[in-house]
A and B are shown apart, each in its own frame.
Chain A
């Protein structure tokens, strides 16, 4: 059972993969971390020794911004865009796609479920 920076504890996986359960660490940075701490990526988390976990913890804490700190940074960046009232900020405020995607169709991830009279009609039909 390994607990790194808060609540992460995936057990039966290879550490290479298990590290990606931490917010802010993907496959690339996971491999970087393992290289720095000189641990093979194939070891299962349950087979790690306590010292190895400690090394991992140190490497991650010193070099990477993860979890809460990272989320906060992202939130602050968005807040900055909104505060200076630029186009990107307005798009964030509206919940529209920010990077120039089309909005005539699609963009449902940002805009959320369809609303409007036609969509509602279709929905009620499906219920019947």
Chain B
């Protein structure tokens, strides 16, 4: 279900503050639920995926998505043992 329009987009305040301050280092964050606002564009944000931080460069197209969408928390390894391994190597 979509979020109520009355509330407006959810943006993690601490993260937004950190980005506004700026600095050369990319910002590390656990706030995967935070929406990407126009202020984020052009920054590299390291998004936690539960295991490590994934650096994501924010572009204009990403505005309106949540940070979590760019740092998948699940890893899919192929089924099928040896055969699949060989098939994966070829391409």
A86 and B80 contact, CB distance less than 8 A: no
Q: Which of A83, A90, A116, A117 contacts B61 (CB 8 A)?
A: A83
Q: How far is the CB of B48 from chain A (nearest CB, A)?
A: 15
B69 and A88 contact, CB distance less than 8 A: yes
Within 8 Å CB of A86, what residues of B?
62, 65, 69-70
B61 and A84 contact, CB distance less than 8 A: yes
Give the secondary structure class of A's interface. helix
Within 8 Å CB of A85, what residues of B?
70
**Number of A residues with CB within 8 Å of any CB on chain B:** 10
Q: In the assembly, what is the distance between CA of A118 and CA of B75, in Å?
A: 24
Within 8 A of A (CB), among B61-88: 61-62, 65, 68-70, 72, 79-80
- How many inter-chain contacts with C-beta < 8 Å in the A-B complex? 21
Quick check: is A48 within 8 A (CB to CB) of the other chain? no
Quick check: is A43 within 8 A (CB to CB) of the other chain? no
Quick check: is A80 within 8 A (CB to CB) of the other chain? yes
A87 and B72 contact, CB distance less than 8 A: yes
Within 8 Å CB of B59, what residues of A?
84
Q: In the assembly, what is the distance between CA of A85 and CA of B70, in Å?
A: 7
B80 and A87 contact, CB distance less than 8 A: no
B72 and A90 contact, CB distance less than 8 A: yes
Q: How far is the CB of A114 from chain B (nearest CB, A)?
A: 12
Q: A116-B79, A116-B80 are in contact. Are A84 and B72 (CB under 8 A)?
A: no
Residue of B nearest to A94 (CB): B76
Residue of A nearest to B69 (CB): A86
Residue of A nearest to B74 (CB): A87
Within 8 Å CB of A83, what residues of B?
61
